[in-house]
Structure 1
């Protein structure tokens, strides 16, 4: 409780572990809440939870609550999963894919992620998983980062085609991106303007929490 109170004045780091994916992972009390950070950015809870919550509100809480199966690529500490379960009251199945086992251990220890009964966590590379899965999903959340870097495959046409193929009728993709320079701005602009799939619509929610842009893809049929 003392650390929580002090965190309103200064962040209080309580746990650090090395990560092959993101160099280091830190659990910190900040502004009265427990968050997970990588070396240079927030990984779960804190600003990231606010970003993805806005995206979920854009999709529509009622629409999400009625869905059957959600895929989360990039679980980290599981903040978006907690939003789905605790706030939206989603009762269906959640499949979470995370490449870093260490961060899942932290999520279980500090945020009780392993107590979410409808969640199945798969330790795998997101690209490899979408090639192998036989399931179809109502909502696919893409939140894949290596510290502040986004893997190139996320913007490749092949990956986007596969993601869209995995959507059920009237399914939605919520893609969290980070914009740190003009090159990143151009990358996102090109991704959106060159998206030309029939029966799909694409839009962006720009400048969420300063450096993030959410891209939403909706399947009409």
Structure 2
């Protein structure tokens, strides 16, 4: 409790470790909240949670409540799962995929990742998982970063087509991207152009300065 109160004055680091995929992972009290950060960006329960919460609001909490299954690619500390369970009041099935076992370990220890019913966490590469899964989903959340870098496969046709195949009609993709320069803006413009009239695509720029969100609805 003392550390939490002091964190309103300055951040207080309580755990730090390295992993195969992250140079540095830190659990920190910041303004009264526990957050998970990588070396250069927030991974969970800080600005990232605010970004994805806005995306869920764009889709609509009531609409999401009526979904049956959600896929989260990139779990990190589990903040979007927390939002789905506590704020959206989603009671359907959530499958979370996270490549970094060290992140899942921290999320379980410090952020209660394992406390929710109807949530399963898979330690796997997102690309490999979407190739293997036989499930279909009403909402697919893509939030995959290695620090400030986004893997190239997220923007490649094969992955995009596979995600579209896994999405139910009237379902949504919520895709969080980071835009730091002109090349990133161009990359996002090209990504947007890859969806035909069977999809309704909206882009929300400058969420928390460097984030751009896509919401993509499958119409047919």
TM-score, scaled to structure 2: 0.98
Which runs of at least 4 in structure 1 moved beyond 6 Å after TM superposition? none
Contact 1:148-1:178 at 8 Å conserved across structures: yes
Q: What is the deviation of 1:189? A: 1.5
Q: What is the deviation of 1:197? A: 2.3
Aligned to 2:25: 25
Q: What is the deviation of 1:88? A: 0.7
Q: Whole-Å Cα distance in 2 between the matches of residues 174 and 110 of structure 1?
A: 26
Structure 1: runs of 5+ lacking an equivalent: none
Aligned to 2:48: 48
Q: What is the deviation of 1:117? A: 1.5
Q: Whole-Å Cα distance in 1 between the matches of residues 217 and 170 of structure 2?
A: 7
Aligned to 1:80: 80
What secondary structure does 2:72 align onto? strand
Contact 1:52-1:176 at 8 Å conserved across structures: yes
Aligned to 1:113: 113
Contact 1:195-1:202 at 8 Å conserved across structures: no
Q: Whole-Å Cα distance in 2 between the matches of residues 140 and 150 of structure 1?
A: 17
Aligned to 1:98: 98
Q: Whole-Å Cα distance in 2 between the matches of residues 47 and 74 of structure 1?
A: 16
Q: Whole-Å Cα distance in 2 between the matches of residues 157 and 27 of structure 1?
A: 36
Q: Whole-Å Cα distance in 2 between the matches of residues 19 and 41 of structure 1?
A: 16
Aligned to 2:134: 134
Q: How does 1:176-215 map to 2 (within 5 A)?
A: 176-192=176-192, 194-215=193-214
CA RMSD of aligned residues (A): 0.8
Q: Whole-Å Cα distance in 2 between the matches of residues 163 and 197 of structure 1?
A: 14
What secondary structure does 1:23 align onto? coil
Aligned to 1:123: 123
Q: Whole-Å Cα distance in 1 between the matches of residues 83 and 215 of structure 2?
A: 18
Q: Whole-Å Cα distance in 1 between the matches of residues 158 and 201 of structure 2?
A: 17
Q: Whole-Å Cα distance in 2 between the matches of residues 180 and 169 of structure 1?
A: 33
Q: What is the deviation of 1:196? A: 3.4
Structure 2: runs of 5+ lacking an equivalent: none
What secondary structure does 2:135 align onto? coil
Give CA-to-partner distance per residue, 1:113-157, whole Å, 9 cap, x none.
111121100010000111110000000000000011000000001
What secondary structure does 1:147 align onto? coil
Q: How many residues align?
A: 220
Q: Whole-Å Cα distance in 2 between the matches of residues 49 and 196 of structure 1?
A: 27
What secondary structure does 1:19 align onto? coil
Q: What is the deviation of 1:23? A: 1.1
